[in-house]
Amino acid sequence: MLDWKKRIFLVMTCVCGPVLAQDDVPVRIEGVTNETKANLEAYFGKLTHDDLLNWRDTHARLKRAAREAMQSVGYYQSTVHFTPQAAQVLVDVQPGEPVIIKKLELRYQGDAGNDIAFTALLETLPLHEGEVLHHGRYEAIKTLVQNMALERGYFGGQWTLHEVKVLQPAQTAEIRLEYNSGSRYRFGDVEFTTPSDAEPLPLKIEWLEKLKTFSPDDPYEASRIIEFNKALLDSRYFNDVRVRAEPDLAKDQRVPVHVRLSAAKPNQLEVGVGYATDIGPRLSLAWRRPLLNDRGHSIETSTEISQVRQSATFRYGIPWTHPLNDTLQIFSGFKREVLDEATTYSNTLGVERLIRRADGWQRGYSLRFSNEISRKTTGEEVTNNLLLPGLNLNRTRSRGGADPYWGDRQYYQTELASRSLLSDAEFLSLRAGWRLLRTYADRHMLLLRSDLGAIVSSDFDSVPLNMRFYAGGDQSVRGFDYQSLSPRDSTGQVVGASNLVTASSEYAYRLTKRWRLATFVDTGNAFDSASDGLATGAGVGVRWISPVGPVRFDIAWPVSESGSTSPRIHFFMGPAL
C-alpha cells in the first residue's frame, strides 16, 4: 500500500507533470521477451493514473493476471514483482522452469477413427510431446479437431474427455483428449431454386445435375460444396450463385443442399485497344451470351480492326455430355490481312469438340473448311481451299484475377491438309507455345515466352499464305514491324516461312499498386533455313494496372538490325498470359 507522501507525489505528477499528460501509464516488462512478454501485456491491459492511485486493488489484479498469463504459456513457478513509479510500472519477471509435455494422447471414437483425414491431422498438431505446455495451442488442437469434424460431416461429434494434468514439482504435463465423432453424415438431395417462385430455372435440371461435384449418399465434405459453387460460377451461365448445405435439416443423417441461381444479366461485353508503330491503332470487341436458352447453348462474337488486319468470328456452343467439360463448338470467321504487296481474304467454317479435364488440360478435336484468296498489287490472284482436321491441347493456370502475379500457359496444336481430303495443298502444321509468369518479393515480376512452329510439306509453294509463319510485332519480336520477319521473294515481298522460333524475357518492377516499369529482350525469326539467324529487339515499357486489366506501353529497338536505331511503339491492353 502506498504511503500518504507517495500518494501526494503521484497526484501532483498527474496534475503538473508533462510526462503524464496522457491517460495511459506505460508498463515496462523485464525478464522475458517475445511471446511471453506480449502475453503478459495482453493480460495486463491498459493502466491509468487512477490505477496507480488505487494501487492495492490494481496490484492484486495484476498478480492474478501475471499468474494466468505465465501459466498459459507453460510457466507455473514464475515470480513477478511490480514496482510503481511516477511515470510507469516496472514489472520484473523470473519465469522459472517451464512445464514440459510428458504425454499427449488424442483418440477418436466413432467413424472418425477410420477416416484418413483425422489420422493425418495427428502429424500437424501445434503441440507435441517434449515441448513446453502452451494452453493456447492446446485449445488450438481442440479447434482443429472440431473444424475437421464439421468439414467432413461429423455433425454429432463431441468431446468425451479433454484434460490437462500438470505434475509438480516434476514440472511435467499429461494431455488426454478423446473425441467421439459419431457417424459421418452423407449428401442428400439437391434442390435448385430461383429468387422468385414464378421464375423458371435458367438451365434444364439435367444439365444442372451434371455440374454437381458429388452424388447422393456420398460422404459429406464441405470442400465439395465450395467446388460445386465454383463449377456453377465457372459455367458463366449465372450472375449469382448461392450453394448452402443444411445439416440442421438432415434426415437419417443425409444433408440436403439448397442452390439458388439467378441469370438476370447473361450478356458480357469486352473492349480492347492497342497501338503499334507498324500497324497503327487497333480495336477489338467481344460479345458473349453464355446462356442462350435452358439447354445450355451459348453464343460468342468478336471482331478486331486495325490498319493491316480486320477480322470477325462467330462461335456457337452446345453441351455434348457436360455443360462445361464436354462441348461442341460451331464456328465461322472472316479475316482480311495486308502482307506487303498482297492482301489475303480468309473465310472459315468448322466444328470443334472441346473436352476439359479436372487437372486443367483442355483437348480439342476440330474439322474446319478454309477458303483463302490472295491478291497481289500486280493483279495476280490465287485461291486455296482446305479441309483441315486438327487436334489441340492447352492449359492455362493463373493466380491474381485480371492482373495475375503467378501463372503459366502451354499450348500444342496440329492441322493436316491433304489433296485426298478435298484440299488444294498437302502439308502438316505443328505449333507449340509456352508462357511462364512468376513474382518474387511482391515487386519483381518475370515473364518468359516462347513459340515454335513447323510446316512439313513436299510442296511448300502450295501452302496458303495465311497458314505460313511470320514473326515481328508486339506479340512476337518487338522492335520489328508486324510480320516483317519472313523470307521474301525476288520483289522483296514477305512470303511466309516453314519454321518459326520466338522467345522473350521480360522483367517488371512494381513502383506502386497500379504502376510498373519493365524492360525486355525479344528474339526470333520465321525462316526456311536455320542459317537465316535470329532477329533481336529490346526495349523498355510502362505497365498501368487498370480496373479491367494491365495496359502495356513499350518502346522497342531492333538491336540486331545494323544501321537502324528507329524505335517502334507498342501499346496493348490485355493479360500477360
Question: Closest Cα to residue 414, out of 427, 425, 395?
Answer: 427
Query: Do 519 and 392 have their domain in common?
Result: yes
- Locate the DSSP E strands across 127-235: 158-167, 172-180, 186-193
Is 477 in contact with 415 (CB distance < 8 Å)? no
Burial 538-562 (b: 16+ CB within 10 A, else e): bbebebebeeebbbbbbebbbbbee
- The CA-atom distances, in angstroms, between 446 and each of 15, 178, 442, 521, 544 are 61, 50, 11, 12, 16
Residue 181 dihedral angles phi and psi, to the nearest 5°: -80, -25
β-pairing verdict for 549-557 and 535-546: antiparallel
Distance CA 557, CA 481 (A): 11
Is 451 in contact with 436 (CB distance < 8 Å)? no
Give, to the nearest 10 degrees, the angle between helix 55-72 and helix 135-151.
60
18: preceding bond cis by omega (within 30 degrees): no
DSSP state of 211: T
Q: Is 540 helix (H, G, I), strand (E, B) or coil?
A: strand
Cell numbers at residue 478, please? 518487338
Distance CA 463, CA 414 (A): 15
Query: Do 522 and 565 have their domain in common?
Result: yes
> What pLDDT is stored for residue 503 in this prediction?
98
Query: Do 239 and 174 have their domain in common?
Result: no
Query: Do 13 and 85 have their domain in common?
Result: yes
Distance CA 547, CA 516 (A): 15
> What pLDDT is stored for residue 173 in this prediction?
96
Q: Cβ neighbours of residue 270 under 8 Å, at least 6 residues apart? A: 284, 285, 286, 287, 288
Query: Do 535 and 389 have their domain in common?
Result: yes
> What pLDDT is stored for residue 265 in this prediction?
67
Query: Do 54 and 68 have their domain in common?
Result: yes
Q: What share of the chain is helix, strand, coil (3-state, %, to 5)?
A: 20, 50, 30
Query: Do 218 and 360 have their domain in common?
Result: no
| Residue that finishes a domain, picked among 94, 129, 145 | 94
Q: Cβ neighbours of residue 280 under 8 Å, at least 6 residues apart? A: 306, 307, 308
Distance CA 272, CA 474 (A): 15
Query: Do 32 and 14 have their domain in common?
Result: yes
171: containing domain: 100-180
Query: Do 136 and 86 have their domain in common?
Result: no
| Residue that finishes a domain, picked among 147, 180, 213 | 180
Query: Do 470 and 379 have their domain in common?
Result: yes
Give, to the nearest 10 degrees, the angle between helix 34-44 and helix 55-72.
140
Query: Do 45 and 162 have their domain in common?
Result: no
| Residue that finishes a domain, picked among 56, 73, 94 | 94
Sign of CA dihedral 196, 198, 202, 207: positive
Residue 324 dihedral angles phi and psi, to the nearest 5°: -110, -45
- Write the single-letter amino acid at 402: A
Q: Is 353 helix (H, G, I), strand (E, B) or coil?
A: strand
> What pLDDT is stored for residue 317 in this prediction?
96
**Total domain count for the chain?**
4
Query: Do 247 and 334 have their domain in common?
Result: no
Residue 508 dihedral angles phi and psi, to the nearest 5°: -130, 140
| pLDDT tens, the chain, 577 aa long | 344 334 433 333 333 333 333 578 999 999 999 999 999 999 999 999 888 889 999 999 999 999 999 999 999 999 999 999 878 899 999 999 999 999 999 999 999 999 999 999 988 999 999 999 999 999 999 999 999 999 999 999 999 999 999 998 999 999 999 999 999 999 999 999 999 888 899 999 999 999 999 999 999 999 999 999 999 998 889 989 999 999 999 999 999 999 999 987 678 888 888 887 777 888 999 999 999 999 999 999 999 999 889 999 999 999 999 998 999 999 999 999 987 778 999 999 999 999 999 899 999 999 999 999 998 877 789 999 999 999 999 999 999 888 899 999 999 999 999 999 999 999 999 999 999 999 999 999 999 999 999 999 999 999 999 999 999 988 899 999 889 999 998 888 889 999 999 999 999 999 999 999 999 999 999 999 988 899 999 999 999 998 877 889 999 999 998 776 789 998 888 777 7
Distance CA 490, CA 493 (A): 8
> Could you tell me the pTM of the whole model?
0.76
For residue 134, the domain's CATH number is 3.10.20.310
